[in-house]
Amino acid sequence: MHQIFSLDKFILNPVMNRFGLQVLRKVLFKLAYNLVTYRYSNDDPDVKDFKAKGYHVIHDFLSEEEFRDVEREYYQALEEVNSKPKIDHLGHYQLFEVLKDRNINVHHKVDINDDKYPRVFKCLLYHNRLQEFIKRALGCSYQPFFKQVTYKAKFERTVQINPGDQSKYVLKQSSNAQFHSDAVYPVVKAYFLISDVTKDNGAFRYVPSSNLVSLKQIVRMYRESNRKDLDDVKKGVRKELDAQRYSDNETERYGSIKHFVYPKNTLFFVDTSGMHARGYFLPNKTREIVYIDCRHNPFVEMRNRLLSKVGS
């Protein structure tokens, strides 16, 4: 029973899923989320807009001096990664030279900590406007909110390596270039752009309002929760289950696709319980961002609020 209210992506119970358990979870999470964010969405038009569309964009987020400080620490971090390559199946921490003869997405990711990158924390991650928006968008009433929620931040550089035709989009893209949703509960992700982002270097893509509970999304979720893969995981044939992936053509049945084409120093928030994907890359194009992922269980928030009232 506790799994229904957990942050698990799927419940591996084929019988219950055939009766619509995953759809029920989506509806319950949405109701709880609307309750814990009701006060904030009434007071803050940006949060209200975010809940309705699934995204919010802030241009020229930092001052020029603050941006230069963040940019300096970003490149410092990536240089350290390049000097100490570590290769794994996701392509994390890889030198460009290692993969120059292969057609693949390369990620350079660095976990951010405040001891090593103090300016990023002071200028960006502890920025009052960023913190306050995430707190309100998640419905978290406790300070500091990042001690209460599942919170991670990374420097991220993505490059499409391809030695072939430089004028065509690379067809063999990361699976993240296919549309998917991350969870049945709201997930607030923030992307701060270190470089200009266009349709040629992986601009984030999103289906506006796909975070809402609609008939189309309910049907999609029901089908996803009854995939054969679920049985395979339960039987041990597969270790884990990834989100269902959709092509661009399939995704357009659920709404128009927005491309997040913006200049550097733009910050945007998205609810990745909606349908989203990384954009496509022309060969050897680079996207550089600071990535923040925040998750908070609205049922836990409701319990905490109730306990605080009982104790007061």
Burial of 54 (0-12, 13-18, 19+ CB in 10 A): buried
The CATH number assigned to the domain holding 119 equals: 2.60.120.620
Is 145 a residue whose pLDDT tops 80? no
Its pTM stands at 0.85
Range 177-192 average pLDDT: 93
Confidence band of 87 (pLDDT split at 50, 70, 90): very low
246 bridge partner residues = 179
Range name among 10-14, 112-116, 218-222 with the lowest pLDDT average: 112-116
Q: Which of 116-125, 199-208, 215-224 has the lowest mean pLDDT?
A: 116-125
SS3 category, 63: coil
Band of the pLDDT at 88, cuts 50, 70, 90? very low
CA dihedral of residues 230, 231, 232, 238 (deg, nearest 10): 40
Report phi then psi at 310, rounded to 5: -65, -40
> What residue type is 149 in one-letter code?
V
Place of tokens 């799994």: 3
Q: What is the pLDDT of residues 269-298, one digit of tens each?
A: 999 999 999 988 887 788 899 888 989 999
Q: Is the confidence at residue 37, as pLDDT, over 90? A: yes
List pLDDT tens digits, range 264-276: 999 999 999 999 9
Q: Is the pLDDT of residue 2 over 80?
A: no
Residue 169 has pLDDT above 70, yes or no: no
Tell whether the model's pLDDT for residue 242 goes beyond 60: yes
* Maximum mean pLDDT: which of 82-86, 158-162, 174-178: 174-178
Q: What is the pLDDT of residues 197-217, one digit of tens each?
A: 999 988 999 999 999 999 999
- Alpha carbon 120 to its chain's center: 19
Cα separation, 256 vs 71, whole angstroms = 33
Alpha-carbon distance values, 26 to 1, 210, 296 (Å): 15, 12, 15
45 CB-near residues (< 8 Å, 6+ apart): none
Number of domains in the chain: 1
Q: Which domain holds residue 209?
A: 2-311
